[in-house]
Amino acid sequence: VAFVGNRGGEKSSDIVRMIKLLFHGFDIVLVEGFSEEQSIKRIEVIRKEISQQIISSPDRLIAVISDKNIRTRKPIFELGEVPEIVDFLEKVMDEKKKEYKGAVKVTINGEKVFLNKFLQDIMKGLTLAMVSPLRRKNREDIKEIAIKVTQAE
């Protein structure tokens, strides 16, 4: 999918809203530009003829692709190292999934639904708050809660 044109008065957060709307549940979405959007992690491409230095903040930068010597603690790839870049992205996604793993799992009609950390934290907190008084004196001793909701036909 490509959106081409002048962004005019759009706020940078519009891209995040658009990504969430159009690509909900995708593991990764590659976006070119939007350097002003603080919530988007970046792989910066630096070419001898165009860029002289890294412009992304260290907390947003995950890697650099370049045809010149760059000093950074982030992984550096050469322009043609596509398989290596793909492997790196898969590793980053696996690490990200581990961050969210286990807290809350939701399925709808047998299909897994991705929940980001924010939603998992909300659902976990609300569920513990509702269930704790029912059977337990101490919510710390609750290891797992299973809830199944079925709609009547």
Q: What is the pLDDT of residues 67-113, one digit of tens each?
A: 988 889 999 999 999 999 999 998 988 877 666 566 788 888 888 88
Same domain, 111 and 77: no
Give the residue among 53, 57, 52 at the shortest CA–CA distance from 41.
Answer: 57
- Domain housing 75: 13-100
The DSSP 8-state label assigned to residue 56 in this structure reads S
Does 121 map to a domain? yes
- Please report whether residue 1 resides in a domain: no
3-state SS string over 103-126?
A: CCCEEECCEEECCCHHHHHHHHHH
Amino acid symbol at 53: Q
Q: What is the rounded average pLDDT of the residues 30-45?
A: 84
135 and 87 inside one domain? no
Q: Per the structure block, which two tokens stand in for 134?
A: 């029912």
Mark whether 86 and 136 lie in a shared domain.
no
Overall average pLDDT of the 104-133 stretch: 83
